[in-house]
């Protein structure tokens, strides 16, 4: 049922008057007449305040893994709110959902990661990991090891630490970032940076940039390397198979902590519990958020490997870190229900063996020969379609990002949510999506890409 307390025009006027949205050109949005108001969700679909139905190809913001409106998650929140809506884990107290969730996460993460710190957002989890990595080396008697290395196009959030770690120049230009002791190296973006190299050869070359940077900075000053197993917000950059084993070797050889940001890749997105499982990575620390509760309530976690946790526990004394809502019992109860649903519905094997490969196959069948499609890639239910001016030379469109926005607008107008990163269209639908819904998604995507090409005079 569409919301009827206000008309769409009234919602828009109120929104424009008082609400500053994330990552938004406020004046530009107001000039366009304001926002689309989303009022309801069910399964893989959303409805706006005018009653239009949208197929959500982005699972919200890469997070609604079990789909909208799942009663098990709502019941868990309701039950926990009545039982104990809030208590904290400071001052020698905690709550059963926080304990239970910590145990569940430790069971799901790779061997050797056995301790969890909770927070509320992916940004906070990243800040937690940065602080831990630096503190670890201080406790280990190497206080000069403080530099954290991320990657260009990496995204880890917007708090001062997470934004410094993210490799996005426009973010750094606002507010005096990055903070000291952050550094960035190239990502394993074969289509963008690989030139004529074979993808696997490129997958070994990109880590060489990390090793060179470590040598330039001095390994005795580098605390950690942080990476998303697949870079999401940077454009769904799927690494060649050769990439992560080489990164792992470099971190081991130079004694640098390896931190996996699993905020997007975690909880089934790649057809495995974590991106680290998909690529055989053995991280020292993992951060997670989004899919941990399917986005129903805010919750994040930083999971510590034994090397880090043992030193912190044995030699650290009091660790001055934590939020009012760390391990919030309602959020933890929802997360537990969410893990139960992912397990009982068999979503992860389904993504790995069925819907993931099917999405890639359908995208290729529908779009491989399209005049403005340069590359199609997907792993599990995270994928990308690169729009380019010239398929054979991979030449980009002149005003980078403009064609992506055109395509995104065509998607919205045709009932599909697909996001643009520069001129790359990215997809991450809810993990419950079925084969016939994938058919629908791909045909809507084709309509939007055709309309984009027509607008450019290319079809």
Residue nearer to ligand PXG on the CB measure, 185 or 263: 263
Binding-site member from 13, 29, 61, 209 for ligand PXG (CB under 6 A): 61
Site pattern 126..145 for ligand PXG (x: CB under 6 A): x-------------------
Of the candidate residues 132, 233, 363, 385, the single one contacting ligand PXG (CB under 6 A)? 233
Cα 170 versus chain centre, distance: 19
- Please say whether the beta carbons of 182 and 165 come within 8 A: yes
Does residue 383 belong to the site contacting ligand PXG (CB under 6 A)?
no
Applying CB under 6 A, the span of 6-14, 192-200, 202-210, 225-233 interacting with ligand PXG comes to: 225-233
Which of 183, 228, 284, 379 forms a contact with ligand PXG (CB under 6 A)? 228
Rounded Cα–Cα distance for residues 373 and 394 (Å)? 9
Judged by CB under 6 A, does residue 250 bind ligand PXG?
no
User: 400: Cβ–Cβ under 8 A, 6 or more apart, which residues?
Assistant: 422, 423
Q: Which is nearer to ligand PXG, 248 or 287 (CB)?
A: 287
Query: Applying CB under 6 A, which part among 10-18, 46-54, 100-108, 155-163 lies near ligand PXG?
Result: 155-163
Between 205 and 302, name the residue whose CB sits nearer to ligand PXG. 302
- Residue closer to ligand PXG, measured from CB, 120 or 355: 120
Min separation Cβ 361 and ligand PXG, Å: 25
Stretch in the footprint of ligand PXG (CB under 6 A) among 4-12, 121-129, 210-218, 335-343: 121-129
Interacting residue with ligand PXG among 44, 260, 264, 292 (CB under 6 A)? 264
238 counts as binding ligand PXG under rule CB under 6 A? no
Partner residues linked to 426 by β-bridges:
384, 419
Nearest CA to 335 among 61, 42, 66, 129?
66
Answer whether 372's CB lies under 8 Å from 395's CB: no
Q: Does residue number 323 form part of the binding site for ligand PXG (CB under 6 A)?
A: no
Q: Does the protein bind ligand PXG through residue 422 (CB under 6 A)?
A: no
Binds ligand PXG (CB under 6 A): choice among 122, 167, 235, 239: 122
Contact status: 267 vs ligand PXG (CB under 6 A): no
Size of the site for ligand PXG (CB under 6 A): 15
CA–CA gap between residue 456 and residue 449 (Å, rounded): 11
Please, which residue, 68 or 155, has the CB nearer to ligand PXG?
155
Residue 239 C-beta: closest distance to ligand PXG, Å: 14
Question: 155 or 274: whose CB is closer to ligand PXG?
Answer: 155
Q: What's the closest the beta carbon of residue 232 comes to ligand PXG, in angstroms?
A: 5
Judged by beta carbon, residue 34 or residue 234, the one nearer ligand PXG is: 234
Residue 261 or 284: the one with the smaller Cβ distance to ligand PXG is 261
Residue 157 binds to ligand PXG (criterion: CB under 6 A): yes
SS3 string, the chain, reads CCCCCCCHHHHHHHHHHHCCCCCCCHHHHHHCCCCCCEEEEEECEEEECCCCEEEECCHHHHCCCCCECCHHHHHHHHHHHHHCCCCCCCCCCCCHHHHHHHHHHHHHCCCCEEEEEEECCHHHHHHHHHHHHHHHHHHCCCCCCCEEEEECCCCCCCCHHHHHHCCCHHHHCCCCCCCCCEEEECCCCHHHHCCCCCHHHHHHHHHHHHHHHHHHHCHHHEEEEEECCCECCCCCECCCCCHHHHHHHHHHHCCCEEEEECCCCCCCCCCCCCHHHHHCCCCCEEEECHHHCCCCCCCEEEEEEHHHHHHHHHHCCCCCCCCCCCCCHHHHHHHHHHHHHHHHCCHHHHHHHHHHHHHHHHHHHHHCCCCCEEEEEEECCEEEEEECCECCCCECCCCCCHHHHHHHHHHHHCCEECEEECCEEEECCCCCCCHHHHHHHHHHHHHHHHHHHHHCCCC
- Is residue 227 at the binding interface for ligand PXG, with CB under 6 A as the rule? no
The single residue among 8, 95, 121, 338 that binds ligand PXG, judged by CB under 6 A, is: 121
Taking CB under 6 A as the binding criterion, the range among 88-96, 226-234, 345-353, 361-369 that sits at the site for ligand PXG is: 226-234
Question: Please, what is the minimum distance in Å from the beta carbon of residue 2 to ligand PXG?
Answer: 26
Residue 388 binds ligand PXG (CB under 6 A): no
Chain positions contacting ligand PXG, by CB under 6 A:
61, 121-123, 126, 155-157, 228, 232-233, 261, 263-264, 289
């Amino acid at each position: 049922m569409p919301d009827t307390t206000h008309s769409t025009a009234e919602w828009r006027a109120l929104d424009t008057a008082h609400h500053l949205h994330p990552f938004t050109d406020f004046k530009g949005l107001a000039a366009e007449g304001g926002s689309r108001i989303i009022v309801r969700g069910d399964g893989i679909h959303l409805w706006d305040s005018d009653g239009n139905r949208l197929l959500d190809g982005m699972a919200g913001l890469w997070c609604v893994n079990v789909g909208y409106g799942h009663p098990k998650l709502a019941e868990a929140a309701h039950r926990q709110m009545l039982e104990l809506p809030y208590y904290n884990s400071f001052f020698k107290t905690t709550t059963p959902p926080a304990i239970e969730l910590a145990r569940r996460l430790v069971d799901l993460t790779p061997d050797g990661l056995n301790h969890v710190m909770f927070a509320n957002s992916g940004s906070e989890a990243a800040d937690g990991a940065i602080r831990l990595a630096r503190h670890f080396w201080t406790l280990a008697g190497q206080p000069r090891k403080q530099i954290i290395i991320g990657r260009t196009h990496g995204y880890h959030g917007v708090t001062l630490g997470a934004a410094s770690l993210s490799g996005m120049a426009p973010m750094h230009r606002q507010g005096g970032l990055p903070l000291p002791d952050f550094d960035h190296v190239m990502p394993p973006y074969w289509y963008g940076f690989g030139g004529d190299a074979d993808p696997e050869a490129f997958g070994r070359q990109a880590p060489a940039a990390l090793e060179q940077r470590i040598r330039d900075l001095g390994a005795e000053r580098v605390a950690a390397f942080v990476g998303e197993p697949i870079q999401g917000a940077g454009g769904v950059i799927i690494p060649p198979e050769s990439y992560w084993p080489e990164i792992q070797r470099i971190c081991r050889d130079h004694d640098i902590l390896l931190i996996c940001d699993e905020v997007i890749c975690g909880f089934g997105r790649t057809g495995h519990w974590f991106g680290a499982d998909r690529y055989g990575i053995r991280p020292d620390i993992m951060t997670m958020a989004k899919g941990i509760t399917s986005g129903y309530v805010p919750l994040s976690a930083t999971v510590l490997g034994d090397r880090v946790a043992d030193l912190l526990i044995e030699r650290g004394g009091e660790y001055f870190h934590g939020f009012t809502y760390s391990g919030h019992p309602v959020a933890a109860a929802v997360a537990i229900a969410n893990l139960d649903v992912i397990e009982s519905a068999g979503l992860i094997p389904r993504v790995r063996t069925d819907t993931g490969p099917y999405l890639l196959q359908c995208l290729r069948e529908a779009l491989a020969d399209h005049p403005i499609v340069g590359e199609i890639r997907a792993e599990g239910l995270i994928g990308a379609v690169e729009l380019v001016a010239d398929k054979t030379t991979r030449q980009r469109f002149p005003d980078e990002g403009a064609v992506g926005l055109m395509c995104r607008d065509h998607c919205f107008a045709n009932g599909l949510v697909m996001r643009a990163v520069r001129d790359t269209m990215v997809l991450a639908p809810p993990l419950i999506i079925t084969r016939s819904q994938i058919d629908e998604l791909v045909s809507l995507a084709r309509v939007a890409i055709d309309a984009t090409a027509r607008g450019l005079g290319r079809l």
